[in-house]
Structures are given as C-alpha cells and as structure tokens.
C-alpha cells in the first residue's frame, strides 16, 4: 500500500539565552499563544504552563508549557539558570517554516545559538484508512 509522510517534528535547543526572559512565565505563555497563530494552526486548548522545580540532578528548574493544536502540539521548556530552552513544534503538516520558528525563539529569549533537529514523522503513514 502506498504511504505518505505524516508530518514534521522540529526540535530546537537554544543556548546562551537571557535568564530573565527564560524565567518569564508570561513570555512562555505568549509564545504558546502566538506561535500556532503565526503558523496558521488552530489551538484546541489554552496553553498549560507549570513551574518545574529544581530536581537536584541536572535540571535547575524553570517553566514547562505545552499547547495542543489541531495539527499536534508545541512545547517550551526553559532552564533560566543554564540559559537554555528546549522547544518542540510537532505537526501533521508538511513544509514547516523552520527558519521563521528558529528566528522567533532566538529573538524572544535572546539566544546566542540554536541547535536544530528535524525529523519527518510517520514516513510510512498510510494514505488511506485501513479499516
């Protein structure tokens, strides 16, 4: 049976960010409200953001947020004491504007550098219902 690509998963790791911005709950909320709109995607819920405490291992705490979109989800995890942020944009659409997304997060968190990982998801996704 023929198949098509299900979607795309962009994973960004940002380094050297502004610790004040990375510790700004409202800025994380704004990104999770704004990004789906900017990408032409539909939010299915309001974002959920929780303060993540220091786990006394390698995670010094920060903010973790996610928004469920019709096309999948977007998540942001900040680590202000490490000047680090981890962002996932996962969508069933193809053709993500990766440059735009990278520049958006680089600007709002004042990142020095971004590591990008990109995966095509569901490369054997059936193009027809199987039952």
Residues identified as active-site: 72, 77, 92
What pLDDT is attached to residue 126? 87
The radius of gyration of the chain from alpha carbons, rounded to an integer in Å, stands at 16
Does domain 3-126 fall under CATH 3.60.90.10? My reply is yes
Secondary structure (H, E, C), the chain: CCEECCEEEEEEEEECCCHHHHCCHHHHHHHHHHHHHHCCCCECCCCEEEEECCCCCCCCCEEEEEEEECCEEEEEEEEHHHCEEEEEEEECCCCCCHHHHHHHHHHHCCCCEEEEEEEEECCCEECCCCC
pLDDT tens per residue, range 22-74 = 999 999 999 999 999 999 999 999 999 999 988 888 888 999 999 999 999 99
Tell me the whole-structure pTM to 2 decimals: 0.91
What residues does each domain of the chain span?
3-126
């Amino acid at each position: 049976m023929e198949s098509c690509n299900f979607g795309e998963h962009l994973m960004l790791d940002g380094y050297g960010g502004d610790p004040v911005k990375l510790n700004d709950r409202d800025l994380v909320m704004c990104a999770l409200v704004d990004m789906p709109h900017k990408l032409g995607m539909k939010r299915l819920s309001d974002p959920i953001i929780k303060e993540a405490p220091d786990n006394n291992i390698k995670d010094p705490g920060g903010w973790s947020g996610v928004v469920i979109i019709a096309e999948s989800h977007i998540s942001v995890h900040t680590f202000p004491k490490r000047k680090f942020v981890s962002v996932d944009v996962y969508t069933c659409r193809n053709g993500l504007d990766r440059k735009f997304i990278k520049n958006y997060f680089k600007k709002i968190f004042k990142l020095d550098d971004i590591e990008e990982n990109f995966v095509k998801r569901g490369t054997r996704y059936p193009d027809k219902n199987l039952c």
